[in-house]
Amino acid sequence: MRFPASRRFRRHTALAAVLGALAAGLTALAPLAPAAAAAGTLQQVTGFGSNPGNLTMYEYAPAGLPANAPLVVALHGCTQSASDYHAHSGWQKFADQWGFAVVYPQTGAANNSLSCFSWFDSTKDTRGRGEAASVVQMVDHAAAQYRSDRGRVFVTGLSAGGGMTADLLADYPEVFAGGAVDSGLPAQCATTQGAASGCQYGGRGLTPRQWGDKVRDSYPGYTGPWPRVAIWQGTSDTTVAPVNATELRDQWTDVWGIGQPPSDTRGLPGGTTEDVYDDSAGNPAVALFSVSGMAHGLAVDPGPGADQCGATGAYYLDTVCSSYHTARFWGLDGPGGGSGSLPAPARVTVTGTTDTGASLSWAAVSGAASYNVYRDGTKVASPTGTSYTDAGLSAGSSYSYTVAAVDSAGAVGTPSSPVTATTAGTAPRCYTDDNYDQVRAGRAHQSLGLVYADGSNQAMGLYNVAVMHTLKETSQDYFVIADQGC
């Protein structure tokens, strides 16, 4: 991101320039890797194209990556590098887990004194020019090398990398099936460096139609499908004002021809709210993730959990694993591209929910003998018809579903875009506290110096602050001990 010329930032400019020069020098001294990277290792790649944007290419692929796997492009923020982003962002975890390759473009001090991608320079961020063209050359090289599914190429980026991500989605909608803009800017918000500050620190006052026109004008005459876009923004970001997330939402919902009221809203860890905007077929097209209290940076959540990832550091903030939720929004946690030729079922729709179930329907696919239904990436059913009701779910919880057609030989076709079903009722709430405070909060009661959970009357031990328990509220005012997990 192009930082302001304020007194606070000027004090660090000299140091940043030295660090940028050092990083550029280390890159120059690094040994050149062969064009084909070793599986399971982050490697520099040379000779990927004419490279008009003077970028460096790095890539990562898990061992044994099959053909027809997705490809993700991940762009770092200012003062960062490809290896830094690979180590902190969490994308390696999900590349290994769900099977896809990752390309990490890297810019440097020769392009920008703070190693920022030039999202504000029309000679570098427009179709066929500069850094944008270099990134697409990297995509072409990696897709040929790994025989990637060209229908499942995605791009994500932080800060200045997020601004460049939005530009790439506008410039090359035929290349990218989806994108994620993390603490970034709308596509073509600024066309000169002098205009960049106006985008960073305040709204431009444009209508959704005017924002959408900036995308449509980036590739005049384009009539194909538009990328699906995830937007991540911290509410306490003072480097990229939160209004940019609103403008990004306005921009891409207008491009998709849908309104700004969300189709669905749900809460995620780390004080995160997700607003989803569905297309005319009921599939998520745009998602806005707002992280309460987060400053400028990429949302990560270190830990071993399925929905955790990354490592904290400068501009890597411990809140929620954005890479996990972005990958799921793109459908990377699904069954993959499939070995068969059947197309993805259209009009996958959630037709109803109860406290413990969700019902789905979809359009029939010619040649399908059955359909695989996947909940959160795991196959849960193989109905022969075009509907399914999933049971045994938790109340007040959200689940992601995709559907793939299966031919008579058992070959699985392309999976659908995911849809989200949220069961009715209230999700169980858990409270971890000492026995004294559990009683004070009205979740337990004491008798003769011992404590018992309200409702279940389970024994919790002595009435003091030295004994800790987790209580789960399974229904109103009914609590059970849940020390082993809630």
Distances (CA, A) of 463 to 14, 436, 437, 457, 478: 59, 6, 9, 14, 19
Amino acid at 370: S
In 3-state terms, what secondary structure has residue 449?
Answer: coil
The catalytically annotated residue of 115, 118, 148, 159 is 159
Residue pair 479/445 in contact by the 8 Å Cβ criterion: no
Beta strands at 228-234 and 264-268: parallel, antiparallel or unpaired? unpaired
The single-letter DSSP state of residue 149 is -
Between CA 72 and CA 69 the distance in angstroms is 10
Distances (CA, A) of 24 to 55, 124, 316, 415, 457: 11, 20, 22, 42, 65
Token representation of residue 329: 């929004």
Amino acid at 458: Q
Name the phi and psi angles at 96, rounded to 5. Answer: -70, -40
**Whose structure tokens read 């959160």?**
376
The single-letter DSSP state of residue 38 is P
Beta strands at 178-182 and 228-234: parallel, antiparallel or unpaired? parallel
Is 280 a residue of the active site? no
Between CA 357 and CA 129 the distance in angstroms is 51
Beta strands at 316-318 and 298-300: parallel, antiparallel or unpaired? parallel
In DSSP terms, 102 is beta-bridged to: 60, 72
C-alpha R_g of the chain: 24
Active site residues: 159
